Amino acid sequence: MRTPQASVAVPSNSEGTPGATPSAGHSVRTRSQHQRRKRIVQAAAALASRGGVEAMQMRTVAERAGVALGTLYRYFPSKMDLVVAVVGEEIDLLENSIERRPPGASTPAGRAVDVLMRATRGLMREPELADALIRSLIMAEVETPFGDRMTGLLLRVSAGGLTSEQASEEQLALAGSLSSVWVHELLEMLRGRRTYEQIQRRIEIAADRLLSDI
């Protein structure tokens, strides 16, 4: 997993005029916010890669990122918000990879497998961090966007740009089921019960069955 690079949307100017150029001071402030958030997410990822999510103590993250504890809480009110941010950045990297090099398979299942195996390779670059993040998301008592983002990504690549809003209930369920299979297989690999080749074969079988008519 590569070091996350955070992104912060640039807010509109104070008057909300479309197309207006932000002031120099506003741009500097936005850039500073972007850099601060990036440091926080990187600090959280570094701690989790060494000691799991338990090591992501908010005070420790703040100290490592060089920000005040209150500043950290303004960006991320809870540890789970931090976990979601780190995972979100990895999904951003995956989406950027797909934009640069779209899956070349001729079938929906083949394109979905390409994406999921790219994600697997990215996560397994730092297996300790991947294990900590995936387990936290699975055990989370609050809803996180991880599942929806992966489902949406699989829909787009397998069904010719289909969005979650355009998809039928059945299409969402099929893509979501494939995403769930992948998460389970990834955890099995992290536990040492699967090889990369075994995961790929199982994902191929599941994708062929689930996405044959998508």
Here the tokens at position 7 are 């992104």
The answer, yes or no, to whether residue 39 has pLDDT greater than 80, is yes
Average predicted confidence (pLDDT) for the chain = 86
Q: Residues 95, 197: one domain?
A: yes
Q: How far apart are CA 142 and CA 99, in angstroms?
A: 30
Q: Residues 138, 60: one domain?
A: no
Cα angle 146, 101, 126; round to 5: 50
Q: Residues 43, 144: one domain?
A: no
- pLDDT at residue 155, as a whole number: 95
Pick the last residue of a domain from 44, 77, 110.
77
Cα angle 29, 30, 31; round to 5: 90
Q: Residues 116, 43: one domain?
A: no
Q: Residues 100, 145: one domain?
A: yes
Band of pLDDT at residue 5, cut at 50, 70 and 90: very low
More confident site: 37 or 19:
37
CATH no. for residue 33? 1.10.10
Is residue 8 situated within a structural domain?
Answer: no
Band of pLDDT at residue 22, cut at 50, 70 and 90: low
Pick the last residue of a domain from 62, 77, 92.
77
Q: How far apart are CA 108 and CA 154, in angstroms?
A: 9
**Average of pLDDT values for 102-118?**
95
- pLDDT at residue 145, as a whole number: 84
- pLDDT at residue 18, as a whole number: 47
The answer, yes or no, to whether residue 77 has pLDDT greater than 70, is yes
Band of pLDDT at residue 176, cut at 50, 70 and 90: very high
Is residue 156 situated within a structural domain?
Answer: yes
Number of domains present in the structure of the chain: 2
CB contact set of 3 (below 8 Å; sequence gap of 6+): 42, 45
The answer, yes or no, to whether residue 17 has pLDDT greater than 50, is no
Q: Residues 56, 121: one domain?
A: no
- In this prediction the pTM is 0.76
Give buried/exposed letters for 143-162 (b at 16+ CB in 10 A, else e).
Answer: ebebeebbbbbbbbbbbeeb
Q: Residues 203, 107: one domain?
A: yes
Share of the chain above pLDDT 70, in %: 87
The answer, yes or no, to whether residue 214 has pLDDT greater than 90, is no
Q: Residues 130, 27: one domain?
A: no
Q: How far apart are CA 194 and CA 13, in angstroms?
A: 51
Helices and strands of the chain, counted as H and E runs: 9, 0
Band of pLDDT at residue 91, cut at 50, 70 and 90: confident
Is residue 164 situated within a structural domain?
Answer: yes
**Average of pLDDT values for 152-179?**
94
Q: Which domain holds residue 42?
A: 23-77
Asked which of 65-74, 120-129, 205-214 is least confident by mean pLDDT, the reply is 120-129
CATH no. for residue 204? 1.10.357.10
Is residue 9 situated within a structural domain?
Answer: no
Q: Residues 51, 84: one domain?
A: no
- pLDDT at residue 23, as a whole number: 59
